[in-house]
Amino acid sequence: MYKTLLPTALCICLMACNTAEKSKPENYVEDSLNHEVVTFLEEYNTEIQGLYYASAKAQWELNTHIVEGDTMTSKKAAQAEEALAAFMGSEENIKKSTSYLEKAEALNATQIKQLEAILYNAGNNPSTVEDVVKERIAAETKQVEMLFGYQMTMDGEAIDGNEINAILKNSLNLNERLKAWEASKEVGATLKAGLENLQQLRNQSVQALGYEDYFDYQVSDYGMSKEELIASCESMIKDLWPLYRELHTWARYELAAKYGQEVPDFIPAHWLTNKWGQEWGAMVEIEGIDLDSELEAKGAEWIVKEGEAFYQSLGFEALPESFYTQSSLYPAPKDADYKKNSHASAWHLDLDKDVRSLMSIVPNTEWWGTTLHELGHIYYYMTYSNPDVPLVLRGGANRAYHEAMGSLIGLAALQKPFLVDRGLLSEEAELNQMQLLLSEALDFVVLIPWGAGVMTQFEHALYANNLPVDAYNKRWWELKKKYQGIVPPTTRGEEYCDAASKTHINNDAAQYYDYAMSNILLFQFHQHIATKILKQDPHATNYYGSKATGDFLKNLMVKGANVDWKKDLEEKLGEGMSAKAMADYFAPLMDYLKALNEGRKYTLAERL
């Protein structure tokens, strides 16, 4: 599964209203109240865009150029974010927005949405607890520095994320794998105290405006209660659990044979190809295709340019030149005197034209998919950055929409007809369809119990239930075993904090269900494109050059957050969010796995 990181207060694009909106809004009411609201929104925008841009640029520097001992960069970032937070959470903005919303019957839908967004922005930064907000911002800044400035080591030598990934993907030496896995978790222990501090500060920040806790606050952005969100996540897992159970059983036997070990009841974490066990696709090598070699020959720069060409073939515009001059797309040089955030992310710095991506691209299949995913975010930003969408509503229809757009293109760009069309695969290549489906399921299906289960339940416990710090690691591994059937390779006591080694726990908190929802949505979108637009088998599509596909995607993107996502989904697809399309896509694989697993021991319960 290819993911993106949307940095805190940077890429959740719900921060300002639009000065460029010159025409009168729909259903304009000529009265004093409406004039007040329009003036308020314009003034809010005038102030906030500059503050937001300053904060975004400071955060960009903090994430792309981390120098040991440098305190000025983090100080500037904290000051810029404090200024932004102070304005967003000001008593005046809260009082005016609340007052206007009490007279909502006199306002149009777009005005109401803007006012609601302003209050949501204020929810994490209320001036009534100014000292708490400042302390939280400083703590978040410090946590980011510690996370991405940390030097992982293995056998006393420095090692980076790409090197760890390569070991977990390729090594048959379980001792080497264990060392690499443990190296990937080192940082968690150093972040544990900071996470405990953030747990309290984040809750205190949002409770001042009536939210129960930080988890409750983040979930409210979907128009859902936390109970509804948890129920929705459990429903996703339930719908896909039979398939996950087959995948888990297959993986236990496959991995045991690979390493020459007895078949375990649960999968040791270091046996898997991903350090968090969130995606297992690298377990399968598809006969007839060697995409890594093809991409290595073409180079990292080709991957970005070809990704842009793909989107342009659908009818999207070229990326602005500033994207290439100001982004940070490739790994820092080995001899560099700085480090950078190693997690891929897309940034909309000014909520208008300044779009950038932070990646560490090397020419392989994983980065091919990741690059297309990040470009999906970038094109989403560019599409809703238009005069008809107020800046305060320049975000996804919901946060999962943003993730789904990029992951959708990542899926499409690994299907045979597309690869043949782009010269990455021979027309004569005979690919095993079940291997392809298995590889895809090991990414897209495996993420559901991880994202909707482990991550969501852990952060719910952290914020909603005030999980005590001396139970962090215990609860983490309880959830890993329950939802994923994964166990630690060695005893992992409370001196560790393995959850904190996951980027999102630190700086994109209480939102990981976005990724699970996005996987559900992307299969719904893909099924529609394949069957209704391209008239192709969903397992063998070629989006390239399809302007009709591009029009469908633009239509999903163009209104930004100025839309009710549940109604929009019903209108565009004729159904609400459902795992049915995903289950249908993998139905042939289900029968195949059942046959393979006949006579094998199942260790996951039939029902979660």
Instruction: Show me where the domains of the chain are located.
Output: 300-432+513-587
> What confidence score (pLDDT) does residue 556 get?
97
Burial class (CB in 10 A: 0-12, 13-18, 19+), 229: buried
> Residue 258 CB: number of other CB atoms within 10 A?
11
- How confident is the model over 70-98, as a mean pLDDT? 94
> Residue 377 CB: number of other CB atoms within 10 A?
25
- Closest to 466 (Cα-Cα) out of 217, 199, 207: 199
Range in 51-60, 281-290, 419-428 with the lowest mean pLDDT: 281-290
Q: Do 575 and 343 meet the contact criterion of CB atoms below 8 Å apart?
A: no
Q: What is the spatial distance between Cα 598 and Cα 589, in angstroms, rounded to a whole number?
A: 14
Q: DSSP for 371-398, please give it.
A: HHHHHHHHHHHHHH-STTS-GGG-S-SS
> What confidence score (pLDDT) does residue 7 get?
36
Residue 582, pLDDT > 60, answer yes
Residue 31, pLDDT > 80, answer no
3-class DSSP state for residue 515? helix
Q: Do 237 and 453 meet the contact criterion of CB atoms below 8 Å apart?
A: yes
Chain segment 293-348, per-residue pLDDT in tens: 999 999 999 999 999 999 999 999 999 999 999 999 999 998 999 999 888 999 99
DSSP 262: P
- pTM here is 0.90
Per-residue tokens: 333: 């040089």
pLDDT-based confidence at residue 12 (cuts at 50, 70, 90): very low
Q: Do 405 and 379 meet the contact criterion of CB atoms below 8 Å apart?
A: yes
- Closest to 346 (Cα-Cα) out of 363, 323, 364: 323
Range in 26-35, 347-356, 500-509 with the lowest mean pLDDT: 26-35
- How confident is the model over 383-393, as a mean pLDDT? 94
Is the sign of the CA dihedral 318, 324, 329, 331 positive or negative?
A: positive
> What confidence score (pLDDT) does residue 1 get?
37
User: CA of 469: how far to CAs of 204, 215, 461, 473, in Å?
Assistant: 17, 17, 11, 9
- Closest to 414 (Cα-Cα) out of 520, 535, 307: 307
pLDDT-based confidence at residue 6 (cuts at 50, 70, 90): very low
- How confident is the model over 478-493, as a mean pLDDT? 98
User: CA of 4: how far to CAs of 265, 275, 359, in Å?
Assistant: 32, 16, 10
Burial class (CB in 10 A: 0-12, 13-18, 19+), 349: buried
> What confidence score (pLDDT) does residue 15 get?
33
Q: DSSP for 295-357, please give it.
A: HHHH-HHHHHHHHHHHHHHTTPPPPPHHHHHH-B-SPPPTT-S-B---S-EEEETTSSS-EEE
3-class DSSP state for residue 154? strand
Q: What is the spatial distance between Cα 66 and Cα 333, in angstroms, rounded to a whole number?
A: 13
Q: What is the spatial distance between Cα 350 and Cα 385, in angstroms, rounded to a whole number?
A: 10
> What confidence score (pLDDT) does residue 587 get?
97
Would you say how long the chain is, in residues?
608
- Closest to 604 (Cα-Cα) out of 220, 241, 296, 298: 241
- How confident is the model over 231-256, as a mean pLDDT? 98
User: Angle formed by the axes of helices 130-149 and 72-88, to 10°?
Assistant: 140
pLDDT-based confidence at residue 124 (cuts at 50, 70, 90): very high
Is the sign of the CA dihedral 11, 466, 78, 5 positive or negative?
A: negative
**586 contacts: CB under 8 Å, gap ≥ 6:** 243, 437, 440, 441, 445
Q: What is the spatial distance between Cα 145 and Cα 372, in angstroms, rounded to a whole number?
A: 27
> What confidence score (pLDDT) does residue 341 get?
86
Q: What is the spatial distance between Cα 605 and Cα 302, in angstroms, rounded to a whole number?
A: 46
Q: Terminal CA-to-CA distance of the chain, rounded, Å?
A: 23
Would residue 545 be called left, alpha or beta, if left means φ above 0 and alpha means ψ between -120 and 50 degrees?
left
Residue the block writes with tokens 């590889």: 439
Q: What is the spatial distance between Cα 298 and Cα 317, in angstroms, rounded to a whole number?
A: 24
User: CA of 331: how far to CAs of 64, 73, 491, 495, in Å?
Assistant: 10, 20, 33, 31
User: What percentage of the chain reaches a pLDDT higher than 70?
Assistant: 95
Range in 4-8, 274-278, 381-385, 396-400 with the lowest mean pLDDT: 4-8
- Closest to 323 (Cα-Cα) out of 365, 284, 378, 363: 378
- How confident is the model over 73-100, as a mean pLDDT? 94
Q: Do 382 and 43 meet the contact criterion of CB atoms below 8 Å apart?
A: no
Q: What is the spatial distance between Cα 560 and Cα 117, in angstroms, rounded to a whole number?
A: 13
How would you label 302-312 residue by residue, b for 16+ Cβ within 10 Å and e otherwise?
ebbebbbebbe
Q: Do 65 and 76 meet the contact criterion of CB atoms below 8 Å apart?
A: no
3-class DSSP state for residue 548? helix
User: Angle formed by the axes of helices 300-313 and 291-298, to 10°?
Assistant: 100
> What confidence score (pLDDT) does residue 227 get?
97
Q: Do 561 and 395 meet the contact criterion of CB atoms below 8 Å apart?
A: yes
Distance of CA 244 to the CA centre of its chain: 21
> What confidence score (pLDDT) does residue 17 get?
36
Burial class (CB in 10 A: 0-12, 13-18, 19+), 452: buried
Q: What is the spatial distance between Cα 584 and Cα 575, in angstroms, rounded to a whole number?
A: 15
Average pLDDT, the chain: 93
- State the architecture of 300-432+513-587 in CATH terms: Orthogonal Bundle (1.10)
> What confidence score (pLDDT) does residue 491 get?
97
> What confidence score (pLDDT) does residue 22 get?
40
> What confidence score (pLDDT) does residue 30 get?
47
> What confidence score (pLDDT) does residue 29 get?
45
Distance of CA 18 to the CA centre of its chain: 26
Residue 496, pLDDT > 80, answer yes
Residue 367, pLDDT > 50, answer yes
> What confidence score (pLDDT) does residue 13 get?
36
pLDDT-based confidence at residue 289 (cuts at 50, 70, 90): confident
Q: What is the spatial distance between Cα 119 and Cα 392, in angstroms, rounded to a whole number?
A: 11
User: CA of 577: how far to CAs of 145, 235, 244, 420, 573, in Å?
Assistant: 37, 11, 20, 32, 10
How would you write 444-480 as a 3-class SS string?
A: HCCHHHHHHHHHHHHHHHHHCCCCCHHHHHHHHHHHH
Q: What is the spatial distance between Cα 497 and Cα 195, in angstroms, rounded to a whole number?
A: 9
> What confidence score (pLDDT) does residue 9 get?
36
Radius of gyration (Cα) for the chain, nearest Å? 24
